[in-house]
Homo-oligomer: A and B are copies of this chain.
Amino acid sequence: MKARVTVTLKNGVLDPQGKAIEGALGALGFAGIGSVRQGKVFDIEVEGTDAVKAKAELEAMAAKLLANTVIENYRVEIVD
């Protein structure tokens, strides 16, 4: 199975990279850009066929390692 875990910054948490990209996009002449927030994705191959079980495992991985839950949210999807 293939899964994707998406980790994004919580609202209100400062995002220095996103800010810098906003600035750079403006300077490149892209107009009409509001805010930019940067996050991460993890594409993970999981053995087995039980999607429910896999999802639960992935949630645990995200909570335990992939995201810093003080500042980040995560979402798990089974892709196929």
Q: Count copies of this chain in the complex.
A: 2
Q: How large is the interface on A (under 10, 10 to 19, 20 to 34, 35 or more residues)?
A: 20 to 34
Residue of B nearest to A36 (CB): B44
Q: A43 touching B37 by the CB < 8 A rule?
A: yes
- Which of A10-37 touch B at CB < 8 Å? 18, 21, 24-25, 28, 30, 32-37
Residue of B nearest to A53 (CB): B32
A32 to chain B, nearest CB (A): 4
* Per-position 1/0 for A41-80, Cβ under 8 A of B: 1111111100000000100110011100000000000000
The CA of A8 and the CA of B41, in the complex, are separated in Å by 8
Q: A21 touches which one: B32, B37, B65 (CB < 8 A)?
A: B65
A33 to chain B, nearest CB (A): 6
